[in-house]
Amino acid sequence: MRDYKYIVEISKENKELIGKLYNKKKGTSSPETYTFCPTNLLCDLTIMSRNHYFKNDKNLQNMGYKTEYAFGKPIHIDKTENFYYYYPLAELIKDSILNDKKITIEELEKIKLFFNINLNYSITLRERNPFYDKLKGKKNIKEFTYIPLEYGHCNIDKIFEDNKTKSYKYLYKCDTLTEVIFAILHYLITNKYNRTRKCNHCEKFYFYKHSNSNYCNRKTPIKTYSHLNCEQAVKDIKQLCERRNKIIDEKIDMEYYHNLKKYRTYWKKYREKVEENPTVENLKILAHFTSKKYIKEHYFIDE
Ligand SMILES: [Zn+2]
């Protein structure tokens, strides 16, 4: 079997999407592995940040960028690939993200031809081994196996409808980094993650399919909570501030009554802002406002 430079693996297990990129480098036996979130990655491409042009060249020819940083560790983009395919494809994706232009399956087909993409992929579904209970312990048997999805002769939408709850794995074999980002785009579009929006908390873009999705699944940029994803961080910080408020409000009511009105006005103002827009900034303001130090200096004071 021929060797591919990259393998993109996108799996959904217990509703969680995980992307893995394996990059086989010349002269090495084990590939470099990158883990990524499929719905975030295209929105984190280097092209999405402003300063991606080569600074020292005025020629249009040298537009583009040599290194892709979206996968966490830098990946070098081949010079010719970058100029003809990678950069223009990244540009196209950026345009669709920023302007919320939905890419259809038909357009995906055109993009594939235009960027000379060799699409080589397979889908496998996770099935529980029906003999597992009977044979476990007696034989070396795995509880789950991945079975290739046969779709040549039937309706792929129907199969997905039937297998909605199952875990699955997509495997794309790619020769170039252009094919890698196309593979991720292909996965998103065919699985209906075809709209983009900004996360309510970190304000970065991501692809989504359900309209009730308000947060991306990146980790929050707030340092003390950086182990939590955006949605959970918002919940936790809000709860913390609510708890603080209860204690503060009681104490001011009992001991510094002259400050109560002022305190409640500000609490309401900052709390409402967080409710409307739970951005990093608004949460930080609310947390600062309810911090021990701030309250001590501004509200636990006599007339
Ligand atoms: Zn976010």
Q: What is the DSSP string of 50-115?
A: S--S-SS--SGGG-S-SEE-TTSS-EEPPHHHIIIIIHHHHHHHHHHHHTT-PPPHHHHHHHHHHT
201 CA distance to ligand 1 middle (Å) = 5
Pairing of strands 32-36, 67-68: unpaired
> What does the alpha-carbon distance between residue 203 and residue 64 come to, in Å, rounded to a whole number?
25
Note whether 135 and 252 are same-domain residues: no
> What does the alpha-carbon distance between residue 299 and residue 260 come to, in Å, rounded to a whole number?
8
206 CA distance to ligand 1 middle (Å) = 8
Q: Which domain holds residue 279?
A: 223-298
Note whether 140 and 287 are same-domain residues: no
> What does the alpha-carbon distance between residue 61 and residue 52 come to, in Å, rounded to a whole number?
14
Note whether 131 and 238 are same-domain residues: no
Mean pLDDT of the chain: 89
237 CA distance to ligand 1 middle (Å) = 15
294 CA distance to ligand 1 middle (Å) = 28
Is residue 255 within 8 A of residue 79, CB to CB? The reply is no
196 CA distance to ligand 1 middle (Å) = 13
149 CA distance to ligand 1 middle (Å) = 33
Percentage of the chain lying above the pLDDT 70 cut: 90
Q: Looking at this protein, which amino acid is placed at residue 11?
A: S
pLDDT at 66: 87
Phi, psi (rounded to 5 degrees) for 288: -65, -45
pLDDT category at 52 given cuts 50, 70, 90 is very low
Note whether 143 and 269 are same-domain residues: no
Note whether 166 and 261 are same-domain residues: no
203 CA distance to ligand 1 middle (Å) = 6
Please determine, for residue 242, whether its predicted confidence score (pLDDT) is greater than 90.
Answer: yes
The answer to whether position 128 is within a domain reads yes
280 CA distance to ligand 1 middle (Å) = 10
Average pLDDT over residues 114-140: 86
Q: How many structural domains is the chain composed of? A: 2
Note whether 258 and 192 are same-domain residues: no
Average pLDDT over residues 120-142: 83
Predicted model pTM:
0.85
* Residue after which a domain boundary falls, among 158, 179, 208: 208
Note whether 149 and 201 are same-domain residues: yes
Average pLDDT over residues 116-123: 92
> What does the alpha-carbon distance between residue 64 and residue 202 come to, in Å, rounded to a whole number?
27
Q: What is the pLDDT of residues 3-40, one digit of tens each?
A: 789 999 999 988 889 999 999 887 778 899 999 999 99
Token digits of residue 145: 């196996």
* Residue after which a domain boundary falls, among 208, 232, 254: 208
Nearest to 122 by CA among 194, 177, 69, 186: 186
pLDDT category at 51 given cuts 50, 70, 90 is low
Please determine, for residue 288, whether its predicted confidence score (pLDDT) is greater than 90.
Answer: yes
302 CA distance to ligand 1 middle (Å) = 42
187 CA distance to ligand 1 middle (Å) = 21
The answer to whether position 215 is within a domain reads no
Note whether 99 and 161 are same-domain residues: yes
56 CA distance to ligand 1 middle (Å) = 34
